[in-house]
Structure 1
Amino acid sequence: MFRKLLSHAAIYGLAAQVPRLAGILALPVITPYLTTVDYGVGGVITAYVVALNTLISLGLSVVMVNSFAKHPHHYKWVWRQLHGFLSVWAVANGVLLTAVLWWAIPEEAMVNRWELLALNVLPVVLFGVTEYQGTLLFLISQRPVPVAIRSFVVGVATVGLNIYTIAYLRMGYMGWFYANAAGALIGFVYYSYPMYLKEKMWPIFNFKWPRIRQSLKISLPIIPHHFSFFLLDTSDRLVLDLLKVPVPRIGLYNIASSFGLYFMAASNAVVQAASPFYLQYYSKSGKDIEAARQARSMTFALQLLFLGVTFILCLWLKELFILLIRNSELQQAYPLAIILMMGYNYKPMYLGAVNLLSYREHTGVLWKISTVAGVGNVILNLILIPYFGIEAAAITTFVALMYMGYSGYALKEYKQIAEVNYHPWLWLLVNIMALLAVYLLKDVDLEYKAILTAFLGAGASIGYLYFGKRLAWSS
């Protein structure tokens, strides 16, 4: 079973991660031509764009998924109406995004204000809905290959354009935005044929308002849950901007957080692949206690995998920064990157609790996990950043991510349906101790790092194999 999970993760994630790997390998090429101001401007504008983009779907994916599952022969009529409505909403969202960016673009980038508005707003308005529905359709119909190909093509094109615009044309932060806009256009063209010509998913603009209102009643309550991930992953840069932290300091934080987000993006492939297996185990639990134990074993195996990978990466992060980032000013961000990257170890334990709550239809309590974590992160940032600077933003993000991963086990709704003990507080202690240990070891001599890496790799592999054998690997 675990081999199957990992193979699915490879299908979902490999094509997406190859361009990201190329992007990391491109850092030595582009970073000599970038400054902390470039990273600061890019981080601030991206934070606002991501924040507004969480509203582009209005949570209607749950309606689309339900219609696909319950009405497999008639779902296209629902999707086409929602496509028409979301296309209209995209224009309104574009107006809102324009107003926000007009105010939020840093002073250092005012000379390029109109170009930045066009490059960030037009792709959302023109291409966003097609990309969103196309990806969702292929995923729920269990056709991951088109999504993987799209991710690969767009990712490689974007990385290539980043190198061309930044390293050769010397466009600085503008190179990112031109490359991202071109990538959005390529993705739209890629999905246009299967969506409009093959599946006939043309939008219906004469949509039925009763249908739209009924759909929004279901979808709008989900928005806070989705928005909470922005509050955890991206809002730090927005708060830093609101608190008038100098753009170069925001740039340092942005380069550090990008390494955490690299790992988060890679882990999402495992999440996509693991979710169906959790559902399979939970469908048998209650009748077969062994199924609940297998779900726990899968969670523990994933947790060991995440901890082992992040610890070893963070142990060598100083050397990786020196190797990849050919800019002495930007290299100083590696201690912040360690804190942020170790925070993303929350994901396996988060899956163990949230998937069970969702399967047992306790979705009404998910806000106590995600929304509280996201809002708490913002509040702590507003309180602590003025006194402790960007270091506080990294620490509060780690704390919020740990809350995200482990608070579900404290909910009474979870305790009522749990069949096995996941020992969450022991794992939380292990997460915290792992962060403290790797942070203290970050500057030790290379020979000690090599010995420790070999020791940790062997230990993590033994534990990983122990739990993996309990999941019927060959099935």
Structure 2
Amino acid sequence: MLRKLLSHAAIYGLAAQLPRVAGVLALPIITPFLTTTDYGVAGVVTAYVTALGMVQSLGLSVVMVNAYVKHPTRYKWVWRQLHGFISMWSVVYGIVLAAVLYLFIPAEAVEDRWSIIVLHSIPAMFLYQSSHIGSLYYQMQQKPSIVATQGLAVGLITISLNIYFIAYLQVGYMGWFYSTFTGAVVGFILIVYPLYVQEGLLPIMRFKWYRIREALRVSIPVIPHKFSFFLLDTSDKLVMDILQVPMPRIGFYNIASSFGLYFASASNAIVQAANPLYVQLYAASSGKKAALYSIRHATFSLQAVFFAITSLACIWMKEIFFILIKNNDLRQAYPLAIVILMGYNYRPMYLALINKLTYGEKTAGLWKISIVASLGNVGLNFILVPLFGIEAAAYTTFVALMYMGYSGYFFADYRNSASLNYYPLQWLTINIALLGLVYWSMDMVFLAKATISLLLIVAALVSLFYINKRHEMVQQL
């Protein structure tokens, strides 16, 4: 399972996630032409768009995944009805998005207000739902090459236009918005033929309302859960905007948090590849512990890989910033990037937990994980940012992400259905210890960093060897 998961994740990561990766590669070219204010405006606008984006699909992806696994002969009929409903709802959603942007676009960007509204609301109304359903379909089909090819095309166009608009035309933050809009159009065009013609997944507009209500009963509890990702990933900028933190300081924080989001986007490759495998293994686990052992083995292996990658990146974060960021003001944000990046190690443990709960349709209790984590993050930011500055937001994000990843293992919904121990406290302790190690070493000399990096690589290899041997022993019992 692990080999298949990683091979699919490599395809997703190298191509389907290329727009975010492209953003990293373009940094040395575009950052000389950007200011902290540009990053601040982009961060605030993106935060509002992301906040509302959590409700566009109404959580119906969970219903689609379950229909695919549980009803393999008629899932397309279910998907087409849900697609029709989402298409109608997206028009209403796009109007609401336009109104919110009109009211809350920062004063520094008011002259571009209508351009920003159009560039975000049109794709939301007419484009994103098709791309989302197409991506989900090919993930479940375990055909990553199709998603990867489309992602590659969108990524190449996005990176080229980012450079053109920002470095050549020097339009500042608008360059990101123009590029993203064009990428959305290209992505829609590329998915139309395979999704609607080849697979026959045209939306049914005359859907049965009682079936939609049944689907929403399962999906609605997922919305607050998904909204929590916004509150954890990007709400910091909104809180700072509400607290009237100067836009350049918001931009300073935004460049630091973007490195955590770059890794989160790359780790989405793992999530995209793992979700169908996890769901199928949970479906096969009834009376078969071998499937559950395979899930735990993959989870532990991924956790060790995540720890190794993030720790190495954080040890060298100062050097990474000086290579990629050609702006002296923005370069000083590397300590905040370290704290935020180490928080995203929660994903592997969270992945195993959430797939278990959603497959069993135990979504009603997800708020205990997500809402507590996200609202706790927002509340602490309102309290601590005025006292300690924007640096406090990085630490509250780390704490909230740790809660998100590990707390669910202690709740009844999981414990009543779990048969294997995932040792959440041990993994949490390692995560916190590694944060302390990499933060302590961030300003060390080259030789000291190289030595610590080598030791971390050895520790990761030994851990993977132990995890594999342990799995082999358990499978033989």
Q: TM-score, normalised by structure 1?
A: 0.93
1:42 CA displacement: 0.3
2:52 equivalent in structure 1? 52
1:86 equivalent in structure 2? 86
Q: CA 1:468 to 1:269, structure 2 compared with 1: closer, same or farther past 3 Å?
A: farther
- Which amino acid counterpart does residue 101 of structure 2 have in structure 1? L
Q: Deviations over 1:444-473 (max 9, x none)?
A: 111111111112112211212321345569
Q: CA 1:294 to 1:68, structure 2 compared with 1: closer, same or farther past 3 Å?
A: closer
Q: CA 1:185 to 1:282, structure 2 compared with 1: closer, same or farther past 3 Å?
A: closer
Counterparts of 1:320-335 in structure 2, within 5 Å, are 320-335=320-335
1:37 CA displacement: 0.3
Query: For residues 120 and 288 of structure 1, what CA distance do their matches in structure 2 show?
Result: 47
Matched, 1:14 2:14: yes
2:375 equivalent in structure 1? 375
1:355 equivalent in structure 2? 355
- Which amino acid counterpart does residue 16 of structure 1 have in structure 2? A
Matched, 1:188 2:188: yes
Counterparts of 1:85-104 in structure 2, within 5 Å, are 85-104=85-104
1:70 CA displacement: 4.8
SS of residue in 2 equivalent to 1:55: coil
SS of residue in 1 equivalent to 2:58: coil
- Which amino acid counterpart does residue 44 of structure 2 have in structure 1? V
Q: CA 1:302 to 1:171, structure 2 compared with 1: closer, same or farther past 3 Å?
A: same
Q: TM-score, normalised by structure 2?
A: 0.93
- Which amino acid counterpart does residue 156 of structure 1 have in structure 2? L
2:34 equivalent in structure 1? 34
Q: Deviations over 1:295-342 (max 9, x none)?
A: 433322222111111111000000100000000001011111000000
Matched, 1:425 2:430: no
Query: For residues 53 and 255 of structure 1, what CA distance do their matches in structure 2 show?
Result: 22
Residue 2 of structure 1 contacts residue 468 of structure 1 at CA under 8 Å; is this kept in 2?
no
Residue 260 of structure 1 contacts residue 337 of structure 1 at CA under 8 Å; is this kept in 2?
yes
Q: Deviations over 1:106-161 (max 9, x none)?
A: 11111111111111111111212211222222222332221111111111110110
Residue 381 of structure 1 contacts residue 392 of structure 1 at CA under 8 Å; is this kept in 2?
yes
Query: For residues 34 and 152 of structure 2, what CA distance do their matches in structure 1 show?
Result: 25
Q: Deviations over 1:401-441 (max 9, x none)?
A: 00011101221333334333332212212111111121121
1:440 equivalent in structure 2? 440
Residue 2 of structure 1 contacts residue 471 of structure 1 at CA under 8 Å; is this kept in 2?
no
Matched, 1:463 2:466: no
- Which amino acid counterpart does residue 123 of structure 1 have in structure 2? P
Q: Deviations over 1:145-203 (max 9, x none)?
A: 21111111111110110000000000100000000000000001001112333334333
Residue 218 of structure 2 contacts residue 363 of structure 2 at CA under 8 Å; is this kept in 1?
no
Residue 336 of structure 1 contacts residue 391 of structure 1 at CA under 8 Å; is this kept in 2?
yes
Query: For residues 98 and 194 of structure 1, what CA distance do their matches in structure 2 show?
Result: 30
Q: CA 1:218 to 1:294, structure 2 compared with 1: closer, same or farther past 3 Å?
A: closer
Query: For residues 88 and 283 of structure 1, what CA distance do their matches in structure 2 show?
Result: 32
Residue 56 of structure 2 contacts residue 90 of structure 2 at CA under 8 Å; is this kept in 1?
yes
2:336 equivalent in structure 1? 336
Counterparts of 1:384-423 in structure 2, within 5 Å, are 384-423=384-423
SS of residue in 2 equivalent to 1:15: helix
Gaps of 5+ in 2: none
1:261 equivalent in structure 2? 261
Gaps of 5+ in 1: none
Residue 298 of structure 1 contacts residue 471 of structure 1 at CA under 8 Å; is this kept in 2?
no
1:44 CA displacement: 0.3
Number of aligned positions between the proteins = 473
1:214 CA displacement: 3.2
1:4 equivalent in structure 2? 4
- Which amino acid counterpart does residue 269 of structure 1 have in structure 2? A
Residue 298 of structure 1 contacts residue 467 of structure 1 at CA under 8 Å; is this kept in 2?
no
Query: For residues 315 and 32 of structure 1, what CA distance do their matches in structure 2 show?
Result: 25
1:35 CA displacement: 0.3
Two-structure CA RMSD over aligned residues (Å): 2.2
Query: For residues 140 and 155 of structure 2, what CA distance do their matches in structure 1 show?
Result: 22
2:162 equivalent in structure 1? 162
Matched, 1:132 2:145: no
1:96 CA displacement: 0.8
- Which amino acid counterpart does residue 406 of structure 1 have in structure 2? Y
Residue 28 of structure 1 contacts residue 323 of structure 1 at CA under 8 Å; is this kept in 2?
yes
Counterparts of 1:194-343 in structure 2, within 5 Å, are 194-279=194-279, 282=282, 287=287, 292-343=292-343
Matched, 1:108 2:132: no
Residue 343 of structure 1 contacts residue 402 of structure 1 at CA under 8 Å; is this kept in 2?
yes
SS of residue in 2 equivalent to 1:425: helix
Query: For residues 286 and 203 of structure 1, what CA distance do their matches in structure 2 show?
Result: 34
1:64 equivalent in structure 2? 64
Q: Deviations over 1:212-264 (max 9, x none)?
A: 33332332222111111111111111211122111111101111111001111
Query: For residues 284 and 143 of structure 2, what CA distance do their matches in structure 1 show?
Result: 26
1:173 equivalent in structure 2? 173
Q: CA 1:77 to 1:411, structure 2 compared with 1: closer, same or farther past 3 Å?
A: closer
1:282 CA displacement: 4.7
Q: Which moved more, 1:203-212 or 1:155-164?
A: 203-212
Q: CA 1:63 to 1:4, structure 2 compared with 1: closer, same or farther past 3 Å?
A: closer
Query: For residues 129 and 294 of structure 1, what CA distance do their matches in structure 2 show?
Result: 33
Query: For residues 425 and 187 of structure 2, what CA distance do their matches in structure 1 show?
Result: 43
